[in-house]
């Protein structure tokens, strides 16, 4: 079935972005995996080419494009390129709404031109060693003292945490009977703020994930992003878009894995003919193909819904959990079909398998997604 979500101009954008990745990313994927992070020259090149923060106005260095289909095209191309780095999804899909919808004009003027130019990598620090799924239990504090906030605590598993120039941090600020949280932006270089080293992960090694530490870290009160005491609500508002971004990458990744399997099994001979011709393998391929097509239709529908503002929290949660379960199931079965070669690092399916595992955990664990949907259904 032909996908109808994209228009010719999205496809033109896809070609331009694919050419950019072929030139600037693909030759370096292995070295970024070894280094644990894409290099800054690439981030800068992406900014200069207009691929970072294009939703912002021209005056801030953006392209004034407010259409999530462009984000989805980028995610699909990043997956197809084999680049296991979350730079674009993190900056464009997750960070942009914080800077666009919650930041003040003064903050946007301060940060966004560098962000769109690829000179300001931003991380989002919510998870902590003692609180990930249950963000209401965070213990990092930001105490108000005159014109400053003083931060104490730590964050963990933060994407771009080792290399970020600015961290937007969820901290307890004590409003509303001590339960209030706020989002505070902390610039790298601020006394009392330390970025950890890249953590050793089983997958997505081309992207740094790190701890952030705050020890009597003083930032101006003007670094408050959004409303004081409503940090968690701000974060929750942005979660459907984050979850949809994960779903887009998940179904794309499943499709890439399927295509690899089809090509390989058509060539690989066993029992006197191509493995793809064995009846049980044909049936497996038929199942995977159909499952991916069905999932793709729902993901595309959710992309349109996020654009018209109708994507609900439970639809995004369902899309994220279903697409990432599909991704895992497809990739695991495809690896099996590659036999021993599938377990070898030089075969892309091996890396895809490693990279896929976390998709069911971050952005909210899939169990949390189901809990969210179930609660809405029964009004709990």
Q: What are the residue numbers of the active site? A: 242
The residue among 209 and 284 lying less far from ligand FAD, judged by its C-beta, is 209
Of 120, 116, 119, give the one whose Cα is nearest residue 62.
116
User: Residue 266 Cβ, how far from ligand FAD at the closest point, in Å?
Assistant: 34
Beta bridge partners of 151: 142, 217
Residues 236, 86, 30, CA angle at the centre, nearest 5°? Answer: 165
User: Residue 294 Cβ, how far from ligand FAD at the closest point, in Å?
Assistant: 25
The residues, ordered by sequence, that sit 6+ positions from 278 with a Cβ below 8 Å of its Cβ are 270, 271
Answer whether 193's CB lies under 8 Å from 212's CB: yes
Q: How many CA atoms within 13 Å lie on the side-chain side of 294? A: 9
- Gap between the Cα atoms of 310 and 21, Å rounded: 32
The residue among 96 and 124 lying less far from ligand FAD, judged by its C-beta, is 124
Strands 269-270 and 273-274: antiparallel
Residue nearest to ligand FAD (CB): 132
The residue among 144 and 201 lying less far from ligand FAD, judged by its C-beta, is 201
User: Residue 373 Cβ, how far from ligand FAD at the closest point, in Å?
Assistant: 11
User: Residue 134 Cβ, how far from ligand FAD at the closest point, in Å?
Assistant: 6
The residue among 350 and 361 lying less far from ligand FAD, judged by its C-beta, is 361
Backbone angles phi, psi at 153, to 5 degrees: 135, -165
The residue among 121 and 285 lying less far from ligand FAD, judged by its C-beta, is 121
Site of interaction with ligand FAD (CB under 6 A): 123-127, 132-133, 157-159, 201, 204, 209, 358, 361-362, 364-365, 367-368, 371
The residues, ordered by sequence, that sit 6+ positions from 288 with a Cβ below 8 Å of its Cβ are 254, 258, 261, 330, 333, 334
User: Residue 158 Cβ, how far from ligand FAD at the closest point, in Å?
Assistant: 5
- Gap between the Cα atoms of 134 and 124, Å rounded: 16
């Amino acid at each position: 079935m032909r996908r109808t979500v994209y228009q010719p101009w999205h496809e033109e954008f896809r070609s331009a972005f694919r050419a950019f990745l072929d030139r600037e990313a693909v030759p370096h994927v292995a070295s970024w995996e070894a280094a644990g992070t894409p290099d800054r020259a690439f981030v800068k090149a992406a900014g200069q080419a207009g691929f970072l923060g294009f939703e912002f106005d021209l005056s801030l260095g953006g392209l004034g494009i407010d259409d999530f289909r462009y984000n989805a095209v980028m995610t699909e191309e990043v997956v197809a390129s084999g680049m296991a780095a979350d730079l674009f999804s993190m900056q464009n899909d997750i960070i942009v709404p914080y800077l666009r919808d919650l930041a003040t004009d003064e903050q946007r003027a301060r940060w966004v031109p560098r962000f769109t130019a690829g000179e300001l990598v931003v991380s989002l620090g919510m998870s902590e060693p003692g609180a990930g799924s249950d963000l209401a239990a965070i213990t990092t504090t930001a105490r108000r003292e005159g014109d400053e906030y003083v931060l104490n605590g730590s964050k963990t598993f933060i994407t771009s945490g080792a290399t970020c120039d600015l961290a937007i941090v969820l901290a307890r600020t004590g409003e509303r009977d001590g339960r209030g949280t706020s989002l505070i932006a902390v610039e790298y270089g601020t006394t009392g703020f330390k970025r950890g080293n890249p953590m050793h992960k089983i997958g997505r090694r081309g992207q740094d994930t790190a701890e952030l530490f705050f020890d009597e870290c003083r930032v101006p009160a003007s670094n408050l992003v959004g409303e004081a005491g409503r940090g968690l609500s701000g974060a929750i508002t942005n979660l459907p878009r984050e979850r949809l971004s994960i779903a887009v990458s998940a179904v794309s990744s499943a499709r890439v894995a399927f295509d690899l399997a089809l090509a390989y099994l058509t060539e690989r001979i066993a029992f006197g003919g191509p493995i793809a011709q064995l009846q049980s393998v044909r049936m497996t391929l038929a199942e995977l193909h159909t499952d991916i097509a069905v999932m793709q239709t729902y993901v595309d529908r959710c992309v349109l819904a996020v654009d018209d503002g109708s994507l609900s929290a439970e639809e995004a949660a369902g899309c994220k959990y279903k697409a990432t379960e599909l991704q895992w199931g497809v990739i695991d079965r495809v690896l099996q079909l590659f036999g021993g070669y599938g377990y070898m690092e030089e075969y892309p399916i091996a890396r895809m398998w490693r990279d896929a595992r976390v998709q069911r955990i971050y952005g909210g664990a899939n169990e949390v997604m189901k809990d969210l949907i179930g609660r809405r259904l029964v009004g709990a």
